[in-house]
Amino acid sequence: MNAQVKAKALKPLWRIENAAQAVFDPVPFKVYTQRDLERIPQLENLPAEQRFEMKVVASVLPFRVNQYVIDELIDWSNIPADPIFQLTFPQRGMLAPEHFERIATLLREGADKVELEQAVSEVRMELNPHPADQMEMNMPRDEDGARLDGIQHKYRETVLFFPSQGQTCHSYCTFCFRWAQFVGDKELRIASSEAGALHEHLRRNTDVTDVLFTGGDPMVMKTRHLRDYLEPLLQPEFDHVQTIRIGSKALTFWPHRFLGAEDADDLMQLLTQLVEAGKHVALMAHYNHWKELDTEAAQAAIRRVRSTGAVIRAQGPLLAHINDDPAVWAKMWKLQVKLGIVPYYMFAERDTGARAYFEVPLARAWEIYREAMQQVSGLARTARGPSMSASPGKVEIQGVAEIAGEKVFVLRFIQGRNPDWVQRPFFAKYDEQATWLHHLKPAFGEQKWFWEDEYETLRDDKLALAD
């Protein structure tokens, strides 16, 4: 622990005024973006070439980090191996060599802004900015056939909403599969400020039981904006919406949002109001390493959220350079259970952005999951995975087996575009190098997956509507 962090640890984050209430001191939010890389004091000790490499990568992939992450989460004596440093700071390997050299050459030669932006845009389009057919197949339409921007409805029971006020994060994850939201290109962004469009879509789709507010991070919003979206869901016409989920990394990247922020008390009151009205409120917390849970502020924020009656569920991808170690996952799941968090998902890294830097072969992913599960009690075995959020649905690797002399992956749909696919086992030829569903082939001489023809029909129908 560095001297700055030690000094901070001596000062309590809050003072107890009575047995029922903790008063939290406000902490100023200070953030650094691509333009500020040279202003981060801790980077001054890194070699000039490494700092230049960061600048190159940050020209393509979004970069944003705040003072809390820098001071509290990163061990600056362990650079570049520190997992939170890898999680938040650009590394050369996050771009393919040919992409890196193209942008690096332009920066070294002092290319004009137009030429550089054109090159950056072309590189981004080669990084599969919207994986799993998000733009083509997940966007619902209104009664007149117009696309409802800022809403995704992939599965029957669950609707995703992207509030425009929540389309940034307190810091950015370098692996983020929604990186395209943050690069300033309106053509790549999914967002809406139309609460009315969301509510009307929910009125017309009474099979929907869950609404997920996502982004970006809805917890960057002022509580008054969040309230505008959520309070109407307490009306009787939305009784079919049983669960309100809020996807957030704020418990890691800015726990002070729940502690001493100006409207933190109002946020706690809103969550309590939703719970007491009969809604199941789930904060879908994104965690990638146990270090994110191991600060005074993080644990205080967790306690405060749980005091509202909201449930915290933890999910995150398996990532090379960050958490590709069963001991890391076991320790993280144990700590989550200790703090009252429900382990929910281990994902495979999606096929977008810096995927080549972070992806782990599916065979190894299953081994890590299995070995981590062997180290925890039943309460931590609620985490499902490794799961691929592919276009047909969420596909879980259940294991590796030998059947009729053939080594295979045993797979199942946790969720699917057709609910009839859910929980049906199917088998893929074993492949040590495969990292995603499209790398796998059906086992036992089958030419197609059992769901393939139906999926292609669904896809063709969706694309026809878009034309």
**What confidence score (pLDDT) does residue 181 get?**
81
For 68-95, the pLDDT digits (tens) are: 999 999 999 999 999 999 999 999 999 9
The residues near 48 (Cβ < 8 Å, ≥ 6 apart) are: none
What is the distance between the alpha carbons of residues 400 and 363, in angstroms, rounded to a whole number? 8
pTM: 0.91
**What confidence score (pLDDT) does residue 179 get?**
84
Name the pairing type of β-strands 384-389 and 342-348.
Answer: parallel
For 134-187, the pLDDT digits (tens) are: 666 777 887 777 778 889 999 999 999 999 898 899 999 999 988 888 876 666
Name the pairing type of β-strands 342-348 and 311-318.
Answer: parallel
Tell me the sheet residues that pair with 311. Answer: 282
Query: pLDDT (tens digit, 0 to 9) for every residue of the chain, 467 residues total?
Result: 444 443 344 344 544 443 335 667 889 999 999 999 999 999 999 999 999 999 999 999 999 999 999 999 999 999 999 999 999 999 999 999 999 999 999 999 999 999 999 999 999 999 988 776 666 677 788 777 777 888 999 999 999 999 989 889 999 999 998 888 887 666 655 656 778 889 999 999 999 999 999 989 999 999 999 999 999 999 999 999 999 999 999 999 999 999 999 999 999 999 999 999 999 999 999 999 999 999 999 999 999 999 999 999 999 999 999 999 999 999 999 999 999 999 999 999 998 999 999 999 999 999 999 999 999 999 999 999 999 999 999 999 999 999 999 999 999 999 999 999 999 999 999 999 999 999 999 999 999 999 999 999 998 887 776 66
Phi, psi of 333 (to 5 degrees): -65, -40
**How many Cβ atoms sit within 10 Å of the Cβ of residue 165?**
18
3-class secondary structure, 76: coil
Whether a cis peptide bond, with omega within 30° of 0, leads into 386 is: yes
3-class secondary structure, 383: coil
Residue 143 — left, alpha, or beta (φ > 0 → left; ψ -120 to 50 → alpha)? Answer: alpha
Residue 110 — left, alpha, or beta (φ > 0 → left; ψ -120 to 50 → alpha)? Answer: left
**What confidence score (pLDDT) does residue 132 get?**
61
**What confidence score (pLDDT) does residue 365 get?**
98
